[in-house]
């Protein structure tokens, strides 16, 4: 089982693993792609610097799926990781096994949240703009976020406290004042909305986790109501368009000219581009590139991309409407807690379907916490409040 | 049949900000070593995020206001995708949906009179790098010094109809942008570049002909030649059917004096514009807008009128002084100090401008502090420093703009002496040393006096009132 892309020995008690989307200075960062095989960055991610300052030692780089758009990391150039016929995510496994206290990952298409759900870990995808994206490999910049995975809600909160904050090096970074709000000790939500349509397609195990969590909430005096969520459920469509378009543009820089993989055989500049990209990129990534390229073409821009931008606004408004009456929403993080090898090979694009559950928070930029195998989305800056709910599970001893 | 040419211009101007548009690298690489001014951001390396240089927006706004544009108070940046080795991230950050300035008007004057040229828009964007081809090794090298240097692209409506008008328009743009100090606009340095969109139609027709876009013209002369060539080519095609005109991009070869097809509309790439999610919309509030508006310079023609009306200068002097904003500012500051406009004009036109010419500097490069010049003029007109030594001090002020003329005169022995005793002593020495000149003068040779006078002045290092010296000299000879 190759969990680590690079392993670093450390004697520190507080250790972190960062996935291979987070740039480190002295070890390669490959985004799980043959295209960046051996690529060593000249600078490191801001989140990493902040955690080093907070006393965490880097114990290695975790394998990640190619540009982090897949289910759990199965498209990594280093191959998929399987245990007992079940797909495993490297970052989650490293934290579960205790090899690292925390994992810092880039949540592009929800693989981090699916992994946390399946491993019974806690993860926080912070409010967009509160953690600097400086030094992360760009894929879908309008929605991706540096995320934290750990065994407990308290650890997640402590790490969030260390990495959240304004950064001049990131033009989308919010003010120090706004960033500070994610750390504030707000009271735990009192009213939670269960997104009805999202509970339909899940398997028995996920349904059980949802019910257990609802019961726990109710026992603790939190009101849970089921609500219709037609608009939120369209997030996946908008996200697949936005993510693919931005991805197509962001990975264009890997052209074989400056760094990374270069094809051996070419007779002109166009062949250098084409052959390098054909040989180095994997199938799922190529699919996303072609899809993204189509959505941005002059012919399709207004019909597709512009509509996705409008959908994003409508989705944000729908969430705002829900939050007039509720403090958080409850939904699954994935349809099953075990992706088998067969399921995955039968449907190459499962990651673009399973993001039904993860796209709402990616599109809207709202904070999302995964705990007890389920997911909570809260108002902007309610990150700490969401983690308070996750703590109920720990008190219960799960 | 008579034809008319319809021309629209896309002018790229490099903004004169210190640093690049999205990183802190120097934006000035003219003559620098390849890849000396680069960082991971302008090399398009993954993980760096663009942070907008506010100065670029200041300059973009200034340019817009100088060209009478409407300023979009919320202006956004977009990505334009294409593959070329000089574009490291494979996209250029530009403004597609909400450019900084729109709907402007520039007035030009030609032999046919005055005319307004409408400006469609001005957008801010980053420049690309440069490819350097090594023919001996058959390799190509990439220099990223120029990547992310800020540019504005000024897009005109197709309101121009001749090479003469195009020249007048470009000269007017140069003047306006240089006066606002936002750009150098030097075609030879590549800080101003121009693409010409041209079509030809029967005179009076309201239908546009087939359009050709011409690139790669490196001087106004080349642009004029290209326009004349292209107009003739189009008329020839229409009249004689020599070729079928297509909408295409053409490259001008100035040595051969011909244009060549580069690509047609059908083979042109799709740039896949979309809003850059990493650059937040730039919101220009009233305070910002007003501060830029307040910083705009008086237009050169307004200054010219003021210089003749208010200061009583001749048309020629006013014309000369308004050749650059640097000359105007030096003049106005010096005038404030010494209060004699004609004197200042003379010093600038006959002294400062000739020093600039000798040093092969442009009129925009004048770096002499106007206040110091005013003080220098006061020293000379007050008889404290001779005019000859005044010129020497001015020359020194070109080398070091921080020079204080009074102190400099003092420490270099340029102060006129009122010590008649010293003058008498020098005169006595000089006439004693040249009895022939003395007798020549006495014999009626005026020239001999000039020779003696010159030697005395030299001994006195010029620090002497010529009238006083002359009187003492003649008196001394007569007393012999």
Kindly report the nearest CA distance between residue A132 and chain B, in angstroms: 10
How far is residue B458's CA from residue B450's CA, in Å, rounded to a whole number? 12
Q: What is the DSSP secondary structure assignment for residue B348, as one 8-state letter? A: I
Q: Nearest CA to B211 among B225, B222, B196, B229?
A: B196
pLDDT (tens digit, 9 = 90+) per residue, A367-390? 999 999 999 999 999 999 999 999
Closest CA relative to residue B48, chosen from A134, A144, A258: A134
Mutation pick from B38, B47, B48 vs chain A, by most beta carbons of A within 10 Å, is B47
Quick: pLDDT tens for B311-364: 999 999 999 999 999 999 999 999 999 999 999 999 999 999 999 999 999 999
Asked, for residue A358, whether it belongs to a domain, the answer is yes
Nearest by CB to B274, from A134, A137, A245: name it.
A245
Two tokens, residue B175: 């003047």
Closest residue, chain A, to B279 (C-alpha): A171
Fold of B420-478: Arc Repressor Mutant, subunit A (1.10.10)
Q: Has residue A391 been placed in a domain?
A: yes
Closest partner residue to B40 (CB to CB) among A43, A133, A298 is A43
Domain contains A314: yes
Read off the CATH number of the domain in which A125 is found: 3.90.1300.10
Which residue among B88, B272, B279 places its CB closest to the CB of A253? B88
φ, ψ for residue A38 (rounded to 5)?
Answer: 80, 5
Which of B52, B89, B279 is closest, CB to CB, to A253? B89
Q: Does residue A14 fall inside a structural domain?
A: yes
Q: What pLDDT does B48 receive?
A: 96
Residue of chain B minimizing CA distance to A141:
B277
B contacts of A41 (beta carbons < 8 Å): 40, 45-47
| Total tally of structural domains belonging to chain A | 1
- Of A146-155, A249-258, B371-380, B432-441, the one with minimum mean pLDDT is B432-441
Please indicate whether residue A93 or residue B30 has the higher confidence score (pLDDT): A93
Inform me whether the C-beta atom of residue A298 falls under 8 Å from chain B C-beta atoms. Answer: yes
pLDDT digits (tens, 9 = 90+) for B421-480: 888 888 888 888 888 888 888 888 888 888 888 888 888 888 888 888 888 888 888 887
CB contact (8 A) between residue A296 and residue B142: no
**Do the domain assignments include residue A249?**
no
Interface of A with B in 241-260 (CB under 8 A): 245-246, 248-250, 252-253, 255, 257-259
Q: Strand, coil or helix: what is B210?
A: coil
A293 inside domain: no
Q: What is the arithmetic mean of pLDDT over B226-235?
A: 94
pLDDT tens per residue across span A346-365: 999 999 999 999 999 999 99
B185 Cα distance to chain centroid: 6
Domain boundaries, chain B: 3-283, 298-411, 420-478
- Residue B69 makes CB contacts below 8 A (sequence gap 6+) with B101, B102, B103, B104, B119, B121, B122
For A40, the domain range is 4-237+305-396
pLDDT at A282 over 50: yes
Q: Do A249 and B43 touch (CB under 8 A)?
A: no
A4 by DSSP, 3-state: which? strand
Residues A262-275 have pLDDT tens digits of 999 999 999 999 99
Q: Residue B92: closest CA among chain A residues belongs to which residue? A: A249
ipTM associated with this complex: 0.94
Higher pLDDT, B123 or B263: B123
């Amino acid at each position: 089982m190759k969990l680590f892309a690079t392993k670093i020995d450390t004697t520190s008690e507080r250790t972190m693993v960062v996935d291979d989307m987070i740039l480190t200075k002295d070890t390669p960062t490959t985004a799980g792609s043959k295209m960046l095989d051996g690529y060593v960055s000249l600078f490191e991610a801001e989140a990493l610097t902040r955690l080093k300052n907070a006393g965490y030692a880097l114990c290695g780089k975790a394998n990640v799926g190619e540009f982090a758009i897949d289910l759990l990391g199965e498209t990594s150039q280093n191959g998929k990781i399987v245990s007992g016929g079940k797909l495993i995510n490297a970052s989650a496994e490293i934290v579960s096994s205790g090899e690292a206290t925390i994992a810092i990952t880039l949540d592009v298409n929800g693989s981090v949240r699916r992994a946390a759900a399946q491993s019974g870990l806690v993860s926080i995808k912070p409010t967009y703009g509160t953690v600097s994206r400086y030094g992360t490999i760009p894929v879908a910049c309008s929605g991706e976020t540096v995320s934290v995975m750990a065994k407990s809600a308290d650890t997640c909160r402590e790490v969030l406290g260390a990495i959240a904050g304004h950064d001049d090096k990131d033009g989308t970074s919010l003010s120090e004042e706004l960033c500070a709000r994610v750390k504030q000790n707000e009271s735990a939500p009192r009213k939670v909305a269960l997104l009805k349509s999202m509970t339909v397609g899940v398997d028995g195990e996920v349904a059980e986790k949802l019910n257990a969590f609802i019961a726990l909430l109710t026992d603790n005096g939190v009101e849970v109501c089921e609500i219709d969520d037609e608009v939120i459920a369209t997030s996946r469509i908008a996200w697949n368009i936005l993510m693919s378009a931005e991805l197509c543009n962001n990975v264009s820089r890997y052209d074989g000219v400056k760094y990374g993989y270069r094809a051996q055989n070419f007779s002109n500049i166009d062949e250098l581009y084409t052959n390098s990209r054909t040989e180095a990129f994997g199938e799922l990534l190529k699919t996303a590139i072609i899809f993204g390229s189509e959505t941005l073409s002059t012919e399709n821009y207004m019909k597709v991309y512009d509509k996705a931008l409008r959908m994003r606004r409508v989705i944000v408004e729908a969430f705002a409407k829900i939050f007039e009456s509720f403090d958080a929403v409850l939904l699954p993080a994935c349809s099953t807690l075990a992706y088998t090898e067969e399921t995955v090979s039968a449907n190459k694009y499962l990651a673009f379907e399973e993001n039904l559950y993860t796209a709402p928070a990616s599109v809207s930029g709202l904070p999302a916490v995964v705990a007890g195998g389920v997911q909570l989305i809260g108002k902007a800056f309610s990150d700490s409040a969401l983690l308070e709910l996750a703590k109920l599970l720990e008190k219960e001893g799960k | 049949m008579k034809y008319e040419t319809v021309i629209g211009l896309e002018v790229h101007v490099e903004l004169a900000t210190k640093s690049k548009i999205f990183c802190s690298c120097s934006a000035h690489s003219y003559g620098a070593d390849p890849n000396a001014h680069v960082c991971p951001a302008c090399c398009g390396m993954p993980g760096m995020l663009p942070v907008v240089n506010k100065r670029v927006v200041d300059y973009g706004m200034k340019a817009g206001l100088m060209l009478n544009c409407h300023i979009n108070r919320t202006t956004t940046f977009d990505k334009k995708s294409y593959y070329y080795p000089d574009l490291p991230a494979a996209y250029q950050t530009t403004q597609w949906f909400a450019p900084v300035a729109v709907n402007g008007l520039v007035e030009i004057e030609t032999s046919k009179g005055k005319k307004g040229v409408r400006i469609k828009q001005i957008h801010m964007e980053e420049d690309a790098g440069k490819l350097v081809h090594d023919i001996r090794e058959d390799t190509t090298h990439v220099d990223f010094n120029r990547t992310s240097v800020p540019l504005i692209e000024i897009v005109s409506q197709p309101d121009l109809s001749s090479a003469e008008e195009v020249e007048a328009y470009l000269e007017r743009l140069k003047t306006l942008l240089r006066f606002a100090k936002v750009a150098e606009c030097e075609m030879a340095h590549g800080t101003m570049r121009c693409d010409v969109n041209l079509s030809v139609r029967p005179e009076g027709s309201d239908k546009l002909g087939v359009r050709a876009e011409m690139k790669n013209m490196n001087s106004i002369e080349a642009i004029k030649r290209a326009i004349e060539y292209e107009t003739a080519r189009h008329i020839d095609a229409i009249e004689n059917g020599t070729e079928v005109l297509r909408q295409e991009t053409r490259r001008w070869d100035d040595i051969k004096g011909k244009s060549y097809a580069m690509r047609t509309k059908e083979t042109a790439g799709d740039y896949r514009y979309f809003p850059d999610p990493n650059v937040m919309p730039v919101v220009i509030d009233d305070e910002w807008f007003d501060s830029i508006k307040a910083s705009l310079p008086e237009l050169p023609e307004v200054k010219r009128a003021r210089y003749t009306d208010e200061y009583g200068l001749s048309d020629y002097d006013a014309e000369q002084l308004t050749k650059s904003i640097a000359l105007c500012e030096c003049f106005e500051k010096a005038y404030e100090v010494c209060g004699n406009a004609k004197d200042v004009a003379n010093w600038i036109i006959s002294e400062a401008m000739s020093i600039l010419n000798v040093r092969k500097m442009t009129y925009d490069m004048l770096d002499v502090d106007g206040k110091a010049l005013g003080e220098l003029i006061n020293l000379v007109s007050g008889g404290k420093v001779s005019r000859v030594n005044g010129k020497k001090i001015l020359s020194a002020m070109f080398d070091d703009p921080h020079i204080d003329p009074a102190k400099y005169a003092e420490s270099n022995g340029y102060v006129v002496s009122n010590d008649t005793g010293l003058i008498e002593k020098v005169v006595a020495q000089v006439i004693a040393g040249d009895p022939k000149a003395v007798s020549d003068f006495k014999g009626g040779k005026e020239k001999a006096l000039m020779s003696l006078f010159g030697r005395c002045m030299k001994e006195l290092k010029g620090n002497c009132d010529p009238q006083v010296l002359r009187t003492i000299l003649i008196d001394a000879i007569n007393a012999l």
